[in-house]
Amino acid sequence: MFDAKTLSRLLEAHIAKIRSAPKDGGYTTETVVITAALVLLALAVVGIIVGKVTNKAKGIDLG
């Protein structure tokens, strides 16, 4: 098992590696916004389809 000093050094090295990595936060934000917009659009389309199918089903005469 690792001792505290070794774990501390590994953690510091990992943090330094993460900090030196190129930042790409803008791309991630754009992706989240576009994905959210597509989800909202899909929900709207599903709502429209469900409404039309429900109205058609109510119009069926079973008697």
What does the alpha-carbon distance between residue 53 and residue 49 come to, in Å, rounded to a whole number? Answer: 6
- Which tens digit of pLDDT belongs to each residue from 11-55? 899 888 888 877 766 667 788 899 999 999 999 999 999 999 999
The pLDDT-based confidence of 8 (bands split at 50, 70, 90) is confident
Q: What is the pLDDT of residue 35?
A: 93
Tell me what pLDDT residue 40 has: 96
Quick check: 62 pLDDT over 90? no
Cβ atoms 2, 10 nearer than 8 A? yes
